[in-house]
Amino acid sequence: MSTIFRLATPADAYEIAVMSRYLIEIGLRGWSWHPERVVKAIRARNTNVLVVEVKANMIGFAIMEFGDTRAHLSLLAVKPTHQRCGIGRQMMAWLEEAALTAGIATIELELRANNFGARSFYHALGYREKTYIAGYYQGAETALRMARDIRRQIPDRKRQFESK
């Protein structure tokens, strides 16, 4: 199975929006990440919209906004047929590498507090729980904010030179 990771184009917006609606926004009133909003994110200079394809079929996507020192993961979804295959982990690795290249130190995200599968996924990647935000989702559902310092550890140079 050949998996392709690429930046989204405006032509991908409708499919991304539909995946958001049925995989992330399910149960919420309205449609927050409608196609027009996704196109706006795709065109934004400070946002990466990642698409994952298998045999020319979109199986996952993620939207991450970049600030000066922090990035915010707005959305991440993988179709149920491809979940638990490492796709989400690979998407996060791709996004974290892009963030490191941009000089980002921390990635933050929010998820539904009762989404224990997502919570477990992000914990496994090293994300830590920061705070609960009551009413975050349309005033009705509580969110859990998680964050991770993605800076790579550089060996202590002083110790390197002392051993010589």
Catalytic residue among 25, 110, 127, 137: 110
**How far apart are alpha carbons 87 and 154 in whole angstroms?**
28
Q: Greatest CA span in the chain, whole angstroms? A: 64
Catalytic residue among 25, 96, 122, 127: 122
**How far apart are alpha carbons 96 and 151 in whole angstroms?**
9
**Residue 160 DSSP SS3:** helix
Pairing status of strand 106-112 against strand 57-66: unpaired
Is 110 in the active site?
A: yes
| Residue that has been written with the tokens 């049925």 in this structure | 22
Burial, 108: exposed, middle or buried (Cβ in 10 Å; 0-12, 13-18, 19+)?
middle
According to DSSP, the residues that pair with 147 across neighbouring strands are 108, 128
Task: Kindly list the catalytic residues.
Answer: 110, 122
